[in-house]
Structure formats: structure tokens, C-alpha cells
Homo-oligomer: A and B are copies of this chain.
Amino acid sequence: MSESRETIQPVFRALADPTRRAIIRMLAHGPRPIGEIASAFAMTRPAIAKHLAILRDGDLIIVEPKGRERINHFNPAALKAATDWLSYFDRFWDEKLEELKRLAEHKKGSS
């Protein structure tokens, strides 16, 4: 009842940082080694390496060792956990909309 899957925490955690979201967008357009990713940001390679570790933890990227490089691939399937969690609230939309509308009316009346 509490949370559909325990795998959801690492995903939402990964999505919480703007740099990591930017990395996801970048890798969506094609796999890249760390060095190439790092050169696109105003921070050092080790900093990016940590972000990649967190993304890996959420299974959002998969690493392909290739010679002395390590190619990072985006794994869109991992986003499904987050999407599912969010879609649960679709059914509350109409109901809550009415509730909040009434609330706004009252507030207007008492101003």
C-alpha cells in the first residue's frame, strides 16, 4: 500500500537534480563517454561521475565498457516507475479541481 515498488526511490532521487536531468536529455540523443558529457557542463569530471553513479543507481543509464572508454546509454524504461506513480493521480483530477475552485471562490468572497 505504501509504495508500489521500492525501486521508485532511486528514480525520483535521480530526477531531483537539474544537472542529472540535463544529462538524461543529452544521453537520450545518443550514448556518450563520461569525458564528453563532462565537457558540456561547468563542473569537473569527478562531479559528473558522481551524478552518473546516481543515475546508474536508478537504472536510468547503462554502461558499456569499450576499450579505455565507458559509454553511457540512456535507459528510458526506468522512467516508467515514475510515470506510473504519477499517473495514479489522474483519477483525482476532476474531483480536486472542483474542491480547489470552491476554495478560491470563498477566498475571493472574504477579501
With contact pairs A13-B16, A18-B3, A22-B2 given, residues A74 and B96 touching in the complex (Cβ less than 8 Å): yes
Instruction: Give the number of copies in the complex.
Output: 2
Contact with B along A1-40 (1 / 0, CB 8 A): 0110000010011011010011010001001000000000
Q: CA–CA, A79 to B96, complex, Å? A: 13
* Size category of the binding interface on chain A: 35 or more
Does residue A77 face the partner (Cβ distance < 8 Å to B)? Answer: yes
DSSP class of A's interface residues: helix, strand, loop or mixed? helix
In this complex, the member of A3, A85, A89, A96 whose beta carbon has the largest number of chain B beta carbons within 10 angstroms is: A96
Interface of chain A residues 50 through 78 with chain B (CB within 8 A) = 62, 64, 73-77
Residues of chain B lying within 8 A (CB to CB) of residue A31: 99
With contact pairs A76-B96, A92-B74, A103-B64 given, residues A21 and B28 touching in the complex (Cβ less than 8 Å): no
Binding site for B on A (CB under 8 A): 2-3, 9, 12-13, 15-16, 18, 21-22, 24, 28, 31, 62, 64, 73-77, 79, 82-83, 85-87, 89-90, 92-93, 96-97, 99-100, 103, 107
